Amino acid sequence: MGRKLDVLKRMYLMVFIFLVVAVVLFYRVINISIVEGEKWRAEGDSLFLKYVPIEAERGNILSDDGSFLATSLQFFDIRVDLNSTAMRQEDFNNNIDSLAKCLSAYVDPSKSSTLFKNYLIKKKNEGSRSVLIKRDATYKQLAQIKKFPLLRLGRYKGGLVIEPKVVRKKPFKHLANRTIGEYRKNAQMVGLEGYFDESLRGNEGKQLRYRVSPSVWLPVNELTEITPTKGSDIKTTINVGIQDVAHAALLRSLEYHEAEYGVALVMEVETGAIKAISNLRKTQGGGYAELYNDAVGTKIEPGSTFKLATMMALLEDERLDLDERVRIWGGKDRFCGRTVYDSEPHAFDETTARHAFEISSNVGMARLVTEKYKKMNDEHKFIEKFRQFHLDKKTGIEIKGEATPYFKDAYDTKENWSCLSSPWISFGYEVAMTPLQILAFYNAVANNGKYMKPYMVSEIVKNREAVQVFSPIVLDDQIAKKSTISKAQKLLEGVMLNGTGKKIKLPFSTAGKTGTSQINYTARGTEKTKYQSSFAGYFPANDPKYSCIVIVNNPTKHGYYGSKVAGPVFREIALKCMNRVPEQVEIEESTEPTFPLYDVGYKKDIKTILDEMNTEYGEWTESDYVVLLAKNDSLQMKTRNIPSKKVPNVMNMSMRDALYVLENNGYETKTNGYGRVVAQSLKAGIATEDKKIELTLK
């Protein structure tokens, strides 16, 4: 009896356990199939099905006349699913020969039909579900391939798989390449492509695909579940004709002068619309390409083009009469213990402020600022005027990466303000601006003082209708008094008629300023001098339509002056803008110069000439005056001693150099003739109390 009871207990326990397990299993089944059914079915589907984003066709970037600067073209990757469940072996066998012949004839003629046939049979036997037939096929090629044997049976019976994709193209290729920008997935975009990406990119679609292998997903059907929406077009202000000329002219100049990089910018005076923007840098291969938007993103010391701002500051503060006299000491003077030179010496020591600007005298600008501001201890007013002219501000152009101008506050020692600062700023050093910011200032002068915001996009267009229009924006109605602007305009016209710009001859009136600045003036040792050539101006002067700036950085051959390097580029652009046909002027290759066997003079002047001739020389002296000797097919500078207590040797010097040396040593000098000194009445090297000397020149 006891054993029977024990067996029953064990049986009841087992039944209870089975009942509990059954209840738990029943609960789980109900929970999984009904309560959480949708979740687990989706989870299962995700292992075999997924939605793949389909890229929308990107909007076009257009020129001012509607030409395509950047556009999206549709291409297709065409594949075949050789093991589609709906493909019959009979259909494959009946069509494989003719399919292979079509692929050999129309897709890849370099492969025989036999090779194609064997390849397809091999892939089918391997169980392949995705065999590439044609990559980047055009729509016309796709239409042809869809008619091939077997493939014409469609998606399932024929195994045809079509994968559309969009490729960005630039019909004009290099023109304004950096400004237009690049479109790249999952990468930072630059230029207009980046700034207007939200408008251009449209809305992507979705396509359902199923997995046939761990790495291969094929479309369920050729149609998308959600159709992508094409992006909007943007219409720019760029003129293809002007852009083409600016690019070509700049490229020729860079190649001829073997420069490091260059910029050419053209702006419409009344509106601020950018009509052309070219940026070219030397590549590692030796050519030139648009590698960086230097016009917008690179700050430079503007050099002599900044002298316009200096003169306007003086005029705006009513501290200058353009006809008053200023001492320039032949193009050389000392300020705060440092010598300032003009780009070339002059035969006069004094001239008018107007003429000093026309001949681009560094000494003249430094002397005016020293006399009118520095000696009155109010250099801060000088700096304030630049802020009034918007020279310290970004333009706000619709491209990312615009650099911020660099200007010091007067007397700010943290910014290394020194005794030299205001004289050096007067001719464009110790400040930094982008070419675009310099041009915007010149454009305001051309526009009678109205400062326009530079802009590059005029409309956003959707379905051929403008959905957003960008009108010209006035940032300042009047950057300076009308009298100041009027005088500034006359100064720029004077440069072209009487000064450094007169070599840039045009058949219509022009206003502008040349610039030739040293870009490595802080270097020490034997480093070769590097220059920056520039020209900024507008045309026609009597009714300005366009403003333009050209920068050529570090020209190494055939000169470096602004009028010779940047000026011709400006000239060619101006002719195009005014619908004039540029004359076919061939760049003449310079012949080898005949070097002097012997010369004496001021070292700075001799070095300027030799650098202009792109001539190598050895510098064996630190003295100010040198003897230049031709020795063993090379030129060498030797010391010409100028003793302070003995009669100086001025033989073979120019009259200017001889007079400078003698008068600095207290001699009263009389000259006969012109040219170089061939005789001096007091013998060089003797000690004498006689301070009267007569020179014969020939």
Contacts of 302 by beta carbon, 8 Å cutoff, 6+ apart: 428, 431, 432, 433, 438, 515, 517, 534
At residue 591, the pLDDT reads 38
At residue 479, the pLDDT reads 97
Choose between 345 and 441: higher pLDDT. 441
How long, in residues, is the chain?
A: 698
95, pLDDT greater than 50? yes
Give pTM, 2 decimals: 0.71
CA 415 – CA 471 distance, rounded (Å): 39
On whether residue 225 sits in a domain, the answer given is yes
At residue 156, the pLDDT reads 80
Mean pLDDT of 510-533: 80
On whether residue 603 sits in a domain, the answer given is yes
On whether residue 589 sits in a domain, the answer given is no
Confidence of residue 5 (pLDDT cuts 50, 70, 90): low
Confidence of residue 372 (pLDDT cuts 50, 70, 90): very high
Q: Are residue 264 and residue 398 in the same domain, yes or no?
A: yes
At residue 254, the pLDDT reads 94
At residue 682, the pLDDT reads 85
On whether residue 670 sits in a domain, the answer given is yes
Write the CATH number for 132: 3.90.1310.10
Q: Are residue 519 and residue 630 in the same domain, yes or no?
A: no
On whether residue 114 sits in a domain, the answer given is yes
Number of domains forming the structure of the chain: 3
273, pLDDT greater than 50? yes
Q: Are residue 549 and residue 623 in the same domain, yes or no?
A: no
Confidence of residue 83 (pLDDT cuts 50, 70, 90): confident
Confidence of residue 496 (pLDDT cuts 50, 70, 90): very high
At residue 473, the pLDDT reads 96
Last residue within a domain, chosen from 194, 219, 236: 236
**Domain of 446, in residue numbers:** 240-577
- pLDDT tens-digit profile of 163-189? 877 788 888 877 788 888 877 666 567
Q: Do the Cβ atoms of 290 and 181 come closer than 8 Å?
A: no
598, pLDDT greater than 60? no
Q: Are residue 134 and residue 96 in the same domain, yes or no?
A: yes
Q: Are residue 246 and residue 225 in the same domain, yes or no?
A: no
Q: Are residue 565 and residue 521 in the same domain, yes or no?
A: yes
At residue 633, the pLDDT reads 45
Summarize the chain as % helix, strand, coil (round to 5). Answer: 35, 25, 40
Mean pLDDT of 601-610: 71
Last residue within a domain, chosen from 577, 610, 630: 577
At residue 522, the pLDDT reads 63
At residue 41, the pLDDT reads 54
On whether residue 318 sits in a domain, the answer given is yes
Last residue within a domain, chosen from 220, 236, 252: 236
Q: Are residue 221 and residue 358 in the same domain, yes or no?
A: no
Q: Are residue 513 and residue 658 in the same domain, yes or no?
A: no
- Side-chain-side CA neighbours of residue 112 (13 Å): 3
Q: Are residue 216 and residue 246 in the same domain, yes or no?
A: no
583, pLDDT greater than 50? no
Choose between 403 and 689: higher pLDDT. 403
Q: What angle do CA 233, 237, 243 make, to 5 degrees?
A: 115
Neighbours of 495 (CB within 10 A): 27
At residue 638, the pLDDT reads 67
* Beta strand spans in 508-597 (E): 511-518, 531-539, 546-553
Q: Are residue 427 and residue 400 in the same domain, yes or no?
A: yes
On whether residue 684 sits in a domain, the answer given is yes
